[in-house]
Amino acid sequence: MIIVSATLDYATREDRDRAVEESAPVQQATRDDEPGCQAYCFAPDPCVPTRIQVYELWDDGPTLADHFKHRNYEDMKTVLNRYGIVGTENRMYLISAHEPVYSPEGLPRETFFDGSA
């Protein structure tokens, strides 16, 4: 699995809010239309009024690569750029293991991945 994590900064909260609102249909289309997309969320940061937090989860490299060639990707860039991105940070992470955050008893785990992390 691949996680994409990013931030997009705008000059004003209004610009950020319009970008989030206008991008919602493209977010939904990406979730619905693109095989391998497990999550695709561009949401307002509750602590930074001009920032969008991005979270994407993809099955693997080929599905993410296909996304970059898909019309939804181009449409998303158009919407987000319409309101003037003034800063961005982005990373992708290859996930080789995953497990629940909480134990079967509902408590936060104290060790992770059988103690290997």
What the block records as the tokens of 15 is 């610009």
Q: What is the pLDDT of residue 117?
A: 64
pTM score of the predicted model: 0.91
Question: What is the C-alpha to C-alpha distance for residues 51 and 43, in angstroms, rounded to an integer?
Answer: 8
> 108 CB contacts (<8 Å, ≥6 apart)?
101, 102
Q: What is the pLDDT of residues 87-117, one digit of tens each?
A: 999 999 999 999 999 989 999 998 888 886 6
Contact 5, 54 (CB under 8 A): yes
What is the radius of gyration, based on Cα positions, of the chain?
Answer: 16
User: pLDDT under 70 in the chain at which residues?
Assistant: 116-117
